[in-house]
Amino acid sequence: MIKILNKTRHLFTLPFHNENAKADLSNSLQQAIDTGWAHIEFYPDGTIIYANNIFLNATGYTYSELQGQHHRMLCSEKYTQTNEYKDFWINLSMGNIHTGEFKRLHKNGHEIWLNASYTPVKNTDGQVTKIVKIASDITDMVNTRKKAQWVQAAVDSGWATIEFDINGIVIDANENFLHHFGYSKQEIIGNHHRMFCQPEYTQSEEYDQFWIQLKKGDISSGEFERIKKSGEIIWIYASYTPIRNEQGKVVKVYKMASDVTEKVKAQQQLELVMTSVQQLAESVSSASSKITERSTDLKNTIIETATSISQIAEGASDQSRQVDEISVFLEELLRSAEQMSSLAKTINKDISAAQNNTRSGVEKLQVMIETMRDIDTNTKITSQSVQRLTEKSIEIEKALRVISDISSQTNLLSLNAAIEAASAGESGRGFAVVAEEIRKLAEGSRTSAREIETVIKEVQADISSAQQCIQKMEQSVASGQLASNETKTVFDTIDTSISATFSKCIEIDGSSNKQQQDIAKSVQSIERIVVVTEQTTSSIEEVATSSRTIDQEMTNINEQSAQLDQDAAQMLKLITRT
C-alpha cells in the first residue's frame, strides 16, 4: 500500500503486491515532487526533518540551517505566539490536513507566500509520524493581487464606479456611485442603465447607438446628464470603457465618473448672464442712438449761443479797453499810495530812531558818570591795598629772617647738646632726649619758615594782581572817554533824522496832490463803463435763453446717462453673481 496526493491534494491509497514496484513508485513520486514542488517534512512537534532544494531556494536557507530547527523560524514571531498557531500544530498532530495560502518569512526577513498542503503521515498503527508539506511559491501572484486591490481601493475612494454587462444591465457599483445617486446596491443590480436617464433620451436613437458602440468596444467619454433616485438632475464627467476577455470579446462595460453638477450649473448660469448682457447691450445701443439725436439738437443750440456770445465779445472788447485805462490809473494811484505808505513808515522809523538815539545817549552818559566814579573809588582802594601789602611783606621778611636765625641756632645747640649727652654716658641720656626734642622743634621752625616763604610769594602774586587791576582801571577811564565821544555822535544823528523827517513830509504832500488828479480820471472811466454795460445787457439775455435750452438738453442727456448707469450696474451684478 502507498499513499499519494490526488488532484484535490487528499491522500488516497493504492494497493501494490510487489514491494519493488512500491519502492520504484515511491522514488519516482519523490523525484517528481522534488522537481516541480517545494517539499519539506516535519516531526509532529514541528521540528524540521528534510527540505528539498526548491524549498531552500524559496526561503533562502541552506539544508544545515533548517535541519533540527522548528517550523516557527519560517513565521513571524507575532504569529507563532498566537493560539491559532498552537492549534495549527495540534490539529496536524491529530492527523488533520491543512491546505491554503500561507504567509512565511524569507531568510532576509521579506514576506513570501506559499500555496501549500500540510499532510500528516501515519504508520500502520494510525499514529502520525511526520508532516509532509508540498508547496509552490505564489509571492508574485499575491503581490499582484494586492496591488490590484490597492488600485481598486484608490479608485473607489475618489471616483464613482459602476459595471454593466454588454446589454446595459448593472452588475456592480461602489459606495461613491451609490452615494451620489442615492440608491442602495440592491436597488440597482439587475436593472438597466436607463434607470439613470431621462425617458425621452432612453427612447431615442442616440441612446441605442450609445450601447451599440460600447458593445463594439468603443470608449465613450464626456459630460452626461443623469437622474438621481430623488429625481434631481446630476451631471457627471464619465468614461465608459468596454472590458475584453482573453479572446478580445467585450464582456462588460466599466464606468468611472465624477460629479461635475456644480460646474455645469455654473456654465448654464454663465449662458444666462451672457444673454442678459446681450439684452443690456441692445438697450445701451438704443440709448446711445437717442443721445446722438439729442447731441445734434444741442449742437444747433450751441451755434445760436455762439452768435450771441460774439455780440457779447464786441461789448466786452470795449469794456476791456476801458478797464485797461482804469487799471493804468489805478496802478498809478496804487503806486502813489504805496509811496505815501513807504514815506510814512520811513518817518516813523526816523522818529523812532531819534527817540532811541536820544535815550541811548542819556543812558550812555549815565553809564559814563558811574564808570568814572567807580574808577576813582577802585583806584583809591587798590592803592591802599597795595600799600598795606607792601608793608606786610616787609614785616614778614624781617620775621622770616629772625625765625631762620633762631632755627639755625637751635639746631646747632641741639647738636652740641646731643654730643655732650653722649659724652656724659648713662647720666646724660635724659638730656639727650631733651636735645632731640629741641632739634625737632628747630626742624618744625624751619618748615614753618618755608611755609611763610610760600605765603610771601602768594602775597607778591596779589600785589601783581593789584597792579593789573590798576591797569584795568586805566582802561575804564579810556572807555569813559570813548563813551563821551559816542554820546556826541548820537546827538548828531538825532539832528540828521529830524532834518530827514521834514524832507519826507514835503514829498508826501506832492504825492497827495498827484493822487487826487488820478482819482478824477478814474471817475470819468467808470462813467464810460456804465454805458458799455447797458449795451451788453440785451446780448446777455440772449445768452441766458440759450443757456436754458442747453440746460434742458443736458437734463435729457443726464436721464439717458442715468439709465445707462442702471443698465451697467445690472450687468455688473449679473457678472459678479456668476
pLDDT digits (tens, 9 = 90+) for 463-510: 677 667 767 766 765 676 676 667 667 657 766 765 676 576 566 666
pLDDT for the residue 227: 95
The rounded distance, in Å, linking the Cα atoms of 213 and 217 is 7
Could you tell me how far CA 413 lies from the centroid of its own chain? 100
What are 54-72's pLDDT values in tens digits? 999 999 999 999 999 999 9
Q: Which long-range contacts (CB under 8 A, 24 or more apart) does 478-487 make?
A: 479/371, 480/368, 480/371, 480/372, 480/375, 483/364, 483/365, 483/367, 483/368, 483/371, 484/365, 484/368, 486/364, 487/361, 487/364, 487/365, 487/368
- H or E stretch at 298: helix 261-424
113, three cell numbers = 507566500
Model confidence at 77, in pLDDT bands (50, 70, 90)? very high
Pick the closest to residue 417 from 443, 436, 404, 444 (CA basis): 436
Model confidence at 272, in pLDDT bands (50, 70, 90)? confident
pLDDT for the residue 9: 42
- H or E stretch at 99: strand 98-105
Res 6 pLDDT > 50? no
Model confidence at 439, in pLDDT bands (50, 70, 90)? confident
How much is the mean pLDDT over the chain? Answer: 77
Residues 296-302: what's their mean pLDDT? Answer: 63
pLDDT for the residue 1: 43
pLDDT for the residue 130: 95
- Range of weakest confidence among 245-259, 317-331, 547-561: 317-331
Greater pLDDT, 66 or 157: 66
Residues 211-216: what's their mean pLDDT? Answer: 94
Residues contacting 533, CB < 8 A, separation 6+: 319
The rounded distance, in Å, linking the Cα atoms of 153 and 175 is 11
The rounded distance, in Å, linking the Cα atoms of 373 and 370 is 5
**Residue where the block lists cell 656724659:** 424
What are 235-261's pLDDT values in tens digits? 999 999 999 998 999 999 999 888 888
- 558-569: burial string, b at 16+ Cβ within 10 Å, e else: eebeeebeebee
The radius of gyration of the chain from alpha carbons, rounded to an integer in Å, stands at: 69
Pick the closest to residue 175 from 195, 160, 190, 163 (CA basis): 160
CA dihedral 539, 540, 545, 550 (to 10 degrees): 110
pLDDT for the residue 204: 94
pLDDT for the residue 349: 74
pLDDT for the residue 13: 47
What are 507-540's pLDDT values in tens digits? 666 665 666 666 566 656 656 655 655 665 566 5
pTM above 0.85, yes or no: no
Strand order in the sheet with 111-122: 48-51, 38-42, 128-137, 111-122, 98-105
Question: Crossing angle of helices 261-424/429-577, nearest 10°?
Answer: 170
What are 158-185's pLDDT values in tens digits? 688 999 999 999 999 999 999 989 999 9
Greater pLDDT, 374 or 18: 374
pLDDT for the residue 93: 94
Res 49 pLDDT > 70? yes
Residues contacting 187, CB < 8 A, separation 6+: 229
**Residue where the block lists cell 478797464:** 323
69, three cell numbers = 530547527
Q: How far apart, in Å, do the first and last CA atoms of the chain sit?
A: 88
Give me the amino acid identity at 311.
Q
**Residue where the block lists cell 500540510:** 118
The rounded distance, in Å, linking the Cα atoms of 297 and 554 is 11
The rounded distance, in Å, linking the Cα atoms of 131 and 10 is 14
404, three cell numbers = 631762620
